[in-house]
Amino acid sequence: MVLDSVARRQTALRAAVRQGLVGPDSPVLALLDVEGIRATVRDLRAAFAGPAPVLHTFAVKASSLVPVLELLHSEGVGCEVASPGELALARAAGVPASRTVFDSPAKTVAELRDALAEGVAVNADNPQELARIDALVAERSAAGLATASTVGIRVNPQVGTGSIGAMSTATATSKFGVALRDEGAEDRVVTAFLDRPWLTRLHTHTGSQGVPLQLMAESVRIVYELAERINAAAGRHQVDSVDIGGGLPVNFESDEVTPSFASYAQLLRTTVPGLFDGRYTLVTEFGRSLLAKQGLIAAVVEYTKSAGGRRIAVGHAGAQVATRTAFVPDAWPLRVGAFDQRGEPKRGPESVQDVAGPCCFAGDLVARGRSLPELAPGDLVALYDTGAYYFSTHFQYNSLPRPAVHGFSLDERGEVEFALVRRAQGIAEILAESGAAQSGALTWRNSGQAGSGRGAGDDGKAREGASVHPAPTGR
Ligand SMILES: *Cc1c(COP(=O)(O)O)cnc(C)c1O
C-alpha cells in the first residue's frame, strides 16, 4: 500500500502502541521506515547516475546497526568506516572489502595492515599515516603480496565553516586531512602521488550538517582540479577516483526533503562538469541524509509539572538518545509530535511546554518552549528525523538502556509489520558493560591485607585481569 512518509509513520506509531512496543512497560522505542530508506537510496542513485561510475557508501557512524547496513548493501550502498568496530559491523552486514572505505584520523598500524590485507580502501589523513602505509606496502611486496586496496589521500581544501563549527571539517585549522592551502602543501601532495604509483584517489569531506551546498561543491571543485594537476604531472591517469565525502544537510524543520540529492548532484555537475564525464569514479559517503528522516523515537510522558511558570513534560527520551540536542540545543533542534496513549495525534488547545528526558541533569531537554497540545501522563512524544546519529548513537548516562529499534513496513492491506533491528538493552547487559565481572577489582586488598602496607605481589605494575582476584569475603 502506498502511503506518504507521514502517513506511514503515523500508522506505524499506532501499531507500535497496539502491540505494546511502546507503553508503560517499554517507555522508549525507536522506529525505522524500511520503505523510506529504500526510496531514499533510489533518490541518491538516480541523482548520481552516469556517466561517471559511482560507488556509494554509507557513513556507518550515522546508523551503526548491522541490519540497516545490510538493507543499504542490498540496495547497492557500501560502507564508510572509521574504527575497527565500524569495520566489523560492515563485515557482519556482508559488505565486501571492495565496497568499504576506511577513513579515520587516527588509524593504528595494525588497523592499516588489516585494511590493506583485506582490500579495504584507505584514505590517508596525513603524511605520517602515508609513511606507515609506505612501510606496509613494502612489507607486503617483500612477502610477494600486492595490495588490492585503493589508497588515497584526504585533503582539506580549507573552504571555511558552515553554521555548526563542530561539524565543519574543511576549515583553515580543521584536524582532518592535508590542509591544502598551507604553504607548500599542495606541491607536497603532488609529489606524494608522483612518488607512489599506487596512490590513486583523492578524498574530501567538507562537513556534516550546516555546511552550505556551495561550499561543499567548492571543495569538490578544488579536489578535482588537484586530481587534474597530479595526472598532468604524472603523464597518466593516476588519480582515477575522487571521494567527495558526505555531508548533505537535513531539514529538521519539516517533512520536506530539502536539499535533495538531486539538487546537490546537479550543483556538482554544473560546478565540476569534468568530474562527471566518466574519466573518474566517484565515491560518496552520505550518512545523515540517507537515514535521518527515516527514523523516529517514541517515548512515554511520565509526569507533567510546572515550575516558576514553566510547564514541563518529563518523559523517557532525553540525552541518552538525543545527546546533541540536549547538549547543543540551538544547533540540533528536533520536531516533536504529541500523541495520546493510543498513539493518535493529540488535539486540543496548545500550550508552551518543555519536553524533558529522564537524565539527572537540568539540561536534559529535547524541546524548549514548544507550543504543543497539552501533554498528560501516559501520552507519547515522537521525536522526528532521528534516524541518524540519535538512537543509534547512544549515550550511557545514568546507565539508561539502549531502546529497542524496529524497522517497519506496510503490507498490501496497510497492515504494519515490524522487524526487530536491535533488542532493547537489558539490565544484565548494563551490568556487563559496567564492570560487573570485575567486581572486587578495587577492593580485594581490603580483605586480610588491610593495614599491611603493600600487598603481596605488588610490583608496581598494573594487575592484569583483576577479576581473577576474588571479591572480598567479609570485612
Ligand atoms: C561523518 C562523515 C561522513 C558522513 O557525514 P553525513 O553528514 O552524515 O553525511 C562522511 N565522510 C566522513 C569522512 C565523515 O567523517
Which residues in 353-371 are b (16+ Cβ under 10 Å) and which e?
A: bbbbbbbeeeebbbbbebe
Q: Tell me the CA–centroid distance for residue 284 and ligand 1, in Å.
A: 9
Which of 286, 320, 355 is the last residue in one of the domains? 286
Which of 242, 263, 286 is the last residue in one of the domains? 286
Residue 123, ligand 1, Cβ within 6 A? no
27 domain residue, yes or no? no
Same domain, 197 and 239: yes
Banded model confidence at residue 209, pLDDT cuts 50, 70, 90: confident
Q: With a threshold of 0.85, does the pTM exceed it?
A: yes
Long-range CB contact pairs, 369-373, < 8 A, 24+:
370/336, 372/336, 372/338, 372/346, 373/338, 373/346, 373/347, 373/348, 373/349
Least-confidence region, from 125-129, 175-179, 235-239: 175-179
Residue 286, ligand 1, Cβ within 6 A? yes
Residue 163, CA distances (Å) to 73, 322, 330 in order = 32, 20, 11
Q: Which atom of ligand 1 is nearest to the CA of 103?
A: 13
CA angle 469, 471, 475 (to 5 degrees): 125
203 domain residue, yes or no? yes
Same domain, 311 and 388: yes
pLDDT in tens, 103-113: 999 999 999 99
Q: What residue numbers bound the domain in which 198 lies? A: 48-286
Domain count, the chain: 3
Same domain, 367 and 466: no
Distance between CA 263 and CA 255 in Å, rounded?
17
- What's the DSSP call for residue 52? S
301 is written with which cell numbers?
A: 510522558
Contact yes or no for 281/241 (Cβ under 8 A): yes
Distance between CA 46 and CA 245 in Å, rounded?
18
Distance between CA 170 and CA 148 in Å, rounded?
29
- On the question of pLDDT at 255 being above 50, the answer is yes
Peptide bond connecting 51 to the previous residue in cis, omega within 30 degrees of 0: yes
Mean pLDDT of 299-309: 97
pLDDT value of position 173: 87
CATH of the domain at 307: 2.40.37.10
Contact yes or no for 359/326 (Cβ under 8 A): yes
Q: Which atom of ligand 1 is nearest to the CA of 167?
A: 7
Mean pLDDT computed over every residue of the chain = 93
Distance between CA 260 and CA 58 in Å, rounded?
16
450 domain residue, yes or no? yes
Mean pLDDT of 299-315: 97
Same domain, 152 and 81: yes
pLDDT value of position 448: 63
pLDDT value of position 458: 45
- On the question of pLDDT at 472 being above 60, the answer is no
Same domain, 102 and 229: yes
> For the chain, how are helix, strand and coil distributed in percent, rounded to 5?
35, 25, 45
Q: Which residues, at least 6 apart from 339, have a Cβ–Cβ distance to it below 8 Å?
A: 13, 17, 298, 345, 346, 379, 380, 381, 382
- On the question of pLDDT at 475 being above 50, the answer is no
Minimal-distance CA residue to ligand 1 atom 11: 245
pLDDT value of position 3: 73
Q: Which atom of ligand 1 is nearest to the CA of 389?
A: 8
Give the whole-number percent of the chain exceeding pLDDT 90.
87
Q: Tell me the CA–centroid distance for residue 246 and ligand 1, in Å.
A: 5
Mean pLDDT of 441-459: 63
For 389, other C-beta atoms within 10 Å of its C-beta total 24
Q: Where are the alpha helices (DSSP H) in 93-126?
A: 109-118
Residue 62, ligand 1, Cβ within 6 A? yes
Rg (the chain; Cα; Å): 25
35 domain residue, yes or no? no
Q: Tell me the CA–centroid distance for residue 169 and ligand 1, in Å.
A: 10
Banded model confidence at residue 2, pLDDT cuts 50, 70, 90: low
445 domain residue, yes or no? yes
Q: Which residues, at least 6 apart from 30, have a Cβ–Cβ distance to it below 8 Å?
A: 295, 296, 297, 298, 321, 386, 390, 391, 392, 403, 404, 405, 406
CATH of the domain at 266: 3.20.20.10
Peptide bond connecting 329 to the previous residue in cis, omega within 30 degrees of 0: no
Q: Where are the alpha helices (DSSP H) in 272-395?
A: 288-291, 323-327
For 427, other C-beta atoms within 10 Å of its C-beta total 9
- What's the DSSP call for residue 435? T
91 domain residue, yes or no? yes
Same domain, 243 and 332: no
- On the question of pLDDT at 313 being above 50, the answer is yes
3 domain residue, yes or no? no
Q: Tell me the CA–centroid distance for residue 357 and ligand 1, in Å.
A: 28
Same domain, 230 and 109: yes
Same domain, 125 and 178: yes
Mutate to test the pocket of ligand 1, among 164, 213, 285 (most ligand atoms within 8 A of CB): 285
pLDDT in tens, 17-74: 999 999 999 999 999 999 999 999 999 999 999 899 999 999 999 999 999 999 999 9
Work out the burial of residue 197: count CB atoms within 10 Å of its CB; fewer than 13 is exposed, 13-18 middle, 19 or more buried: exposed
Same domain, 397 and 277: no
Distance between CA 387 and CA 35 in Å, rounded?
13
Residue 247, ligand 1, Cβ within 6 A? yes
- On the question of pLDDT at 453 being above 70, the answer is no
Residue 13, CA distances (Å) to 27, 31, 198, 422 in order = 13, 8, 51, 17
Q: Tell me the CA–centroid distance for residue 141 and ligand 1, in Å.
A: 33
Residue 285, ligand 1, Cβ within 6 A? yes
Residue 208, ligand 1, Cβ within 6 A? yes
Q: Tell me the CA–centroid distance for residue 93 and ligand 1, in Å.
A: 19
pLDDT value of position 208: 85
Distance between CA 152 and CA 286 in Å, rounded?
18
Mean pLDDT of 154-165: 87
Long-range CB contact pairs, 128-137, < 8 A, 24+:
130/192, 130/196, 132/107, 134/196, 136/109, 136/112, 137/198
Mutate to test the pocket of ligand 1, among 80, 83, 153 (most ligand atoms within 8 A of CB): 80
134 domain residue, yes or no? yes
Least-confidence region, from 149-163, 225-239, 281-295: 149-163
Distance between CA 473 and CA 277 in Å, rounded?
74
Q: Which residues, at least 6 apart from 199, have a Cβ–Cβ distance to it below 8 Å?
A: 151, 152, 153, 192, 193, 238, 239
Q: Where are the alpha helices (DSSP H) in 23-108?
A: 34-47, 66-74, 84-92
Mutate to test the pocket of ligand 1, among 205, 219, 251 (most ligand atoms within 8 A of CB): 205
Same domain, 282 and 307: no
Residue 379, ligand 1, Cβ within 6 A? no
Same domain, 158 and 301: no
429 is written with which cell numbers?
A: 547487559
Same domain, 340 and 236: no
> What residue type is 79 in one-letter code?
C
263 by DSSP, 3-state: which?
helix
- On the question of pLDDT at 95 being above 90, the answer is yes
Q: Which atom of ligand 1 is nearest to the CA of 286?
A: 9
- On the question of pLDDT at 254 being above 70, the answer is yes
380 by DSSP, 3-state: which?
strand
Residue 205, ligand 1, Cβ within 6 A? yes
Distance between CA 368 and CA 134 in Å, rounded?
52
> What residue type is 222 in one-letter code?
I
Q: Tell me the CA–centroid distance for residue 441 and ligand 1, in Å.
A: 39
